[in-house]
């Protein structure tokens, strides 16, 4: 029997799953570059450490964030925005390592979005209990470009709604190495992450790290 038959018959988690029009889950797609990914992240985090941002409403987010690329997503009492400067250091964000940019472009291509050239990568860190409430990503200028996400470390329950906040979300388990592409009609769908369950991951320990690649400008 071939690997293909195992994937389509024997495996409850097929390698590729369409979640909605334009939204494709590529399970394990980042695994081949894992050994380059993790050290590249450590370098970025040393230069631009994770921080828990404050929302315009004055709440401190449970998810800690940093960025790489020519612009980064930030939030404070004044609002959300993309900024070329890390407000904590006063310096530009670390450059996007080629291994990250190529992974995102390859995944987008696999999902049918050619020539994806992200200029921002938001890096989210979840510790057990951390969550991301349902939201839309609409601070970017060009919604024709997809967003590509890479999940690392502890598994999470991803909540995938629709165009209205009131649309009941479907739940997907995202595991270490899973990559998803969100484009076309799904680009503006509400989404979030349920509170992270406790656990220990062999490579990353007691945390989940998610990378989201965006074309902002
Ligand atoms: C669907 N991050 O950073 S990744 C975010 O796991 C964000 O940290 C989550 O939502 C995380 O904004 C979810 C999956 C994701 C990212 C962007 C999307 C799904 C999306 C944009 C549109 C639709
Ligand atoms: Fe989002």
Output phi, psi for 61, to 5 deg. Answer: -70, 145
Q: Considering the chain, what percentage of its residues have pLDDT values greater than 90?
A: 93
pLDDT of residue 8: 53
pTM, two decimal places: 0.95
pLDDT of residue 41: 98
30 within ligand 1 shell (Cβ under 6 A): no
Instruction: List the domain boundaries for the chain.
Output: 3-214
Structure-block tokens of residue 49: 């450490």
CA distances from 98 to 33, 40, 68, 146, 185 (A): 12, 10, 11, 19, 28
pLDDT digits (tens, 9 = 90+) for 56-78: 999 999 999 999 999 999 999 99
Residue among 171, 132, 177, 172 nearest 154 (CA): 177
Q: What is the CATH number of domain 3-214?
A: 2.60.120.590
Those residues of the chain that have pLDDT short of 50 are: 1-2, 5
Which letter does DSSP use for residue 101 in this model?
Answer: H
Reported as half-sphere exposure (CB side, CA atoms, 13 A), residue 61 has a value of 23
Residue closest via CA to ligand 1's atom 17 equals 147
pLDDT of residue 1: 46
Q: 137 CA distance to ligand 2 centroid (A)?
A: 5
Residue among 197, 194, 209 nearest 153 (CA): 209
Sign of the CA dihedral running 13, 18, 20, 23? positive
User: H or E element: which one contains 13?
Assistant: none
pLDDT digits (tens, 9 = 90+) for 168-200: 999 999 999 999 999 999 999 999 999 999 999
Q: 192 CA distance to ligand 1 centroid (A)?
A: 7
């Amino acid at each position: 029997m071939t690997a293909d038959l195992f994937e389509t018959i024997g495996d409850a988690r097929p390698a590729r799953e369409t979640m909605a029009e334009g939204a494709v889950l590529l399970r394990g797609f980042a695994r081949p570059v894992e050994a380059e990914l993790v050290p590249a992240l450590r370098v970025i985090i040393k230069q631009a450490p994770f921080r828990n941002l404050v929302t315009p409403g004055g709440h401190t987010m449970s998810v800690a964030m940093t960025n790489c690329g020519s612009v980064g997503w930030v939030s404070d009492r004044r609002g959300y925005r993309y900024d070329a400067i890390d407000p904590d250091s006063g310096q530009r964000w670390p450059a996007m390592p080629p291994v990250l940019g190529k992974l995102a472009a390859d995944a987008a291509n696999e999902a049918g979005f050619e020539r994806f050239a992200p200029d921002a990568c938001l890096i989210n860190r979840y510790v057990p209990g951390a969550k991301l409430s349902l939201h839309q990503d609409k601070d970017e200028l060009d919604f024709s470009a997809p967003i590509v996400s890479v999940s690392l470390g502890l598994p999470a329950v991803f909540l995938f709604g629709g165009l209205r906040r009131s649309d009941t979300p479907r739940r997907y388990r995202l595991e270490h190495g899973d990559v998803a592409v969100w484009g076309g009609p799904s680009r503006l769908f509400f989404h979030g992450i349920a509170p992270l369950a406790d656990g220990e991951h062999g490579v990353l320990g007691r945390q989940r790290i998610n990378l989201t690649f965006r074309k902002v400008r």
